[in-house]
Amino acid sequence: MARFHLQPVSDHSIFETAKYTYTYTLDLAADADTVWAGLTADQPLAWCSALKGQYTSGRPFGSGTTRNVVVARLLRLNERFFEWDESNRRHSFYVESASLPLFGVFAEDYQITPTATGCRFVWRFALEARPGLGVLLAVTQPLNKKVLLDGLVRDTIAHFGRA
């Protein structure tokens, strides 16, 4: 299967500078440790119907950890974490390569903080088109957001409950 390489990301500035950025703030009924455990489980984000993922690095996880994710049975992503902070329940990754030539950059950032009623999960996405595909991404991005990204959020709220 062909692999299309994306640009590496080394810090959080991409979440401010990318052409497409999305931030979801979810106040969940589950406590912070429970949500963090779901993100770092052997099959992370197992509650999201559009995703099937697994870590390809051994534990303990940290910066440099890798994972593979299949999105909607169509798109295979190889991811590398550039931040992993267990004590603050935060990790961030970029996609190193994908099975389809859609993105020039794709990154996510997960931050979990305790609240009085559970936890707050801030989930950020940063996307840029592969050179020559800017128009295609611009046309498809509203549907991608509504169907895929909003679907991930709906699945997360359904699994952990809304605070």
Token pair in block for residue 25? 């703030």
Q: What is the pTM of this model?
A: 0.95
Centre a 10 Å sphere on the Cβ of residue 122 and count the other Cβ atoms it contains. 14
Contact in structure between 24 and 110 (CB atoms under 8 Å): no
pLDDT at residue 148 above 80?
yes
Q: Report whether pLDDT(48) > 90.
A: yes
Residue carrying the six token digits 């440790």: 33
The H or E element spanning position 119 is: strand 118-129
Res. 1: pLDDT tops 70: no
- Predicted pLDDT of residue 24: 98
Question: pLDDT over 90 for what percent of the chain?
Answer: 93
- Compute the radius of gyration of the chain from its Cα atoms: 15
Peptide bond into 114 cis (omega under 30): no
Cα–Cα distances (Å) from 129 to 3, 14, 152, in that order, read 16, 13, 21
Q: Quick: pLDDT tens for 98-129.
A: 999 999 999 999 999 999 999 999 999 999 99
**Range 4-160 has CATH code 3.40.718.10:** no
